[in-house]
Amino acid sequence: MKRITLMLAAVLAFAAMQPAGAQSGALGSLKNKVTGAVRNEVRKGAQDAKDKAKQAAQDKATEAKYASASKAGKTYYVSVSTGSARADGLTPQTPMKDLQKAINAAEDNDQILVAEGNYLGNMDRGYIEIGQFGNASSDKGKFLSLYGGYSTDFSERDVINHPTKFQPTDQKFIAPLFNFNARRPYDYKGPLGNVVVDGFIFDLGENNLYCVADVNNEITGTPNEGMLTGRFVEPNATPPCPKVGTLSGDEYALHMDVEGNVRIANCIFVNCRDYGIAALMGKGHMEICNNIFISCRYASCQVRGSVKDDEIGQVSLDFHHNTVLFTWTRTKTFEDMGQGFRFMNGIRTIDVHNNIFGCNSNCGVERVYYETNKSIEALKESNLYDNYFFANKRDLEIAAPGAATISVPAARIEEAEQIGPKYEGNKDLPEGNDAFINAIDKSYLEGFMTLKIIQSESYNPNSAANQVNRMFGLNQQGTEIVRPSMYCNKYPWEKAKDLFGKIADYGAQMPE
């Protein structure tokens, strides 16, 4: 009404300046205009009130729809060995057989308890999905909690003695082994949901393409008699050796596009050919704890923030009490990748602590990415503290002006200004931890510690290719051969379980 009052005052002032005879007509005309303006303002105010009420109702409806995220949902039971394809899965006595069917039936904030066994997805297609991979913008998935490690009658939970696996064999698929979407609608401002993945084994070792183990043939990359396979065969590589397995494509093990309260715990990621965990994180907090990552390719764990710049302060990550061993580079030439954990952009606070990083072919931890917006970068907290390191090519890799990267040993991490404000307590694995070292597969460890890379070049001027090249004035061609004595060979998944609880308060502890 303030604007109407000012308008009326201006009209009266204008009328006062008119001749007496003109005042009556002018005032009457302007009075009608003011009256119309007042009516318009009233109508506009009423419409604004209606619009606000409508929006409030919509917001309330949306909030009510997703408020279940903070309330207890239903519990589904799944057992591949004792379940039924037509069961409702709502009691321990009536478990479903198909985990994918339980996921499809579940709603936000339900939980799914999964008994021991190997889960291959609907009709054994080889993968599990909560939402379509790469399509979280339209297929937002569900906020679910999944717990593995149950006995078939669900009377007890022990993730070591009741292994619950995602372990495909000869299936051919071009999707993550497990894809998990859990997003809210754009600009939703209600409560966020919960996501839990707890107590599962992600193993691609029975599906990966390897050279058949042969210590007498260096092409196979078999360093000793104890190896299960020769080296991993990268996509499009065709080494002249017998092969075993099915796929070598770049399929993730656990891929996530999630937000809210996220927890990944008590899992084993082994023989993963393209990341153990690759995640996009929206607003909320992600905790990755008490897991074992072993013989993963590319990187064991990579989490990027997936929010607008002004929301980065609402994203955080805690990576703690994990054991990260034998992360391999992208190819057998050892040119790039091969990180245990990567500090990535889009997250305000990242805490990495009480982990064990060992035998990673590039580095235990990488911090080379920086926010484009310098003011956002200045607010980031990249905390790396109280971790053990051993036998990595680099313990920490950082970027710096004038150099591609800088290698930082554990004892000097406090000197890396890119790390902090917490940086204390990083050190080499102390002596006296024989129980931990002995829990690592001996053949695999010996093979890594004696790793050799043989490079050779050859040029044959009389080869058919070079004869043709000379005819057309093209460059002559030679061949370069890179033969590592070992590269991403299969690690025995059963022995990965032995690494839980070997060093008090460092690495993966015994699951509770």
* pLDDT at residue 143, as a whole number: 98
Distance CA 166, CA 206 (A): 11
- In the predicted model, what is the mean pLDDT of residues 410-422? 97
Where are the extended beta strands (E) located within 235-296? 243-244, 254-265, 268-270, 277-289, 292-294
pLDDT cut 90: percent of the chain above it = 76
Supply the DSSP symbol for 123. G
Residue with tokens 């150099």: 403
- What band does 19 get if pLDDT is binned at 50, 70 and 90? very low
Q: Which runs of consecutive H residues, i.e. helices, occur in 136-235?
A: none
* Percentage of the chain exceeding pLDDT 70: 81
217: helix, strand or coil: coil
In whole angstroms, give the CA distance from residue 380 to residue 348.
5
Radius of gyration of the chain (CA): 31
Q: Which has the closest alpha carbon to 430: 361, 503, 326?
A: 503
Q: Which amino acid is at 266?
A: N
What pLDDT digit, counting tens, does each position of 342-352 carry?
A: 999 999 999 99
pLDDT value at position 190?
Answer: 84
**Which band of pLDDT confidence, cut at 50, 70 and 90, is reported for residue 30?**
very low
Question: What digits encode the pLDDT tens for the residues 125-142?
Answer: 999 999 999 999 999 999
| pLDDT, average across residues 359-376 | 96
Q: What is the pLDDT of residue 22?
A: 39
pLDDT of residue 37: 47
State the Cα–Cα distance between residues 257 and 281, nearest whole angstrom: 6
pLDDT band at residue 28 using 50, 70 and 90 as cut-offs: very low
Identity of the highest mean pLDDT range in 8-12, 462-466, 501-505: 501-505
Measured CA to CA, the distance from residue 278 to residue 491 in angstroms comes to: 21
Task: Indicate the SS3 state at residue 295.
Answer: coil
Q: Residue 277 — pLDDT band, cuts 50, 70, 90?
A: very high
pLDDT at 279 over 80: yes
Quick check: 210 and 244 in contact, CB under 8 A? yes
**pLDDT tens digits along 60-119:** 444 444 444 456 799 999 999 999 999 999 999 999 999 999 999 999 999 999 999 999
- Residues 6 or more apart whose Cβ sits within 8 Å of residue 322: 288, 289, 290, 291, 292, 293, 301, 355, 356, 507, 508
Strands 145-150, 201-203: pairing is unpaired
Average pLDDT, the chain: 87
pLDDT level of residue 236 (50, 70, 90 thresholds): confident
Show Cβ contacts of residue 365 under 8 Å, excluding neighbours closer than 6 positions. 339, 340, 341, 342, 343, 352, 357, 384, 387, 395, 396, 397
What is the four-CA torsion angle of 323, 325, 329, 334, rounded to 10 degrees? Answer: 140
pLDDT tier at 188 (50, 70, 90 boundaries)?
Answer: confident
Q: β-strand 243-244 against 210-211: which pairing, if any?
A: antiparallel
Name the nearest CA neighbour of 508 among 344, 324, 240.
Answer: 324
Amino acid at 106: A
Check: CB of residue 336 under 8 Å from CB of residue 235: no
Q: Is the pLDDT at 333 greater than 70, yes or no? A: yes
Are residues 500 and 212 in contact, defined by beta-carbon separation less than 8 angstroms? Answer: no
Averaged pLDDT for residues 428-451: 98
Q: Read off the pLDDT of residues 148-170 as tens digits, 9 standing for 90 and up.
A: 999 999 999 999 999 999 999 99
Instruction: Answer yes or no: is pLDDT of 330 > 80.
Output: yes
Tell me which of 183-187, 329-333, 356-360, 505-509 is least confident: 183-187
pLDDT tier, 7 (very low <50, low <70, confident <90, very high otherwise): very low
pLDDT, average across residues 1-10: 36
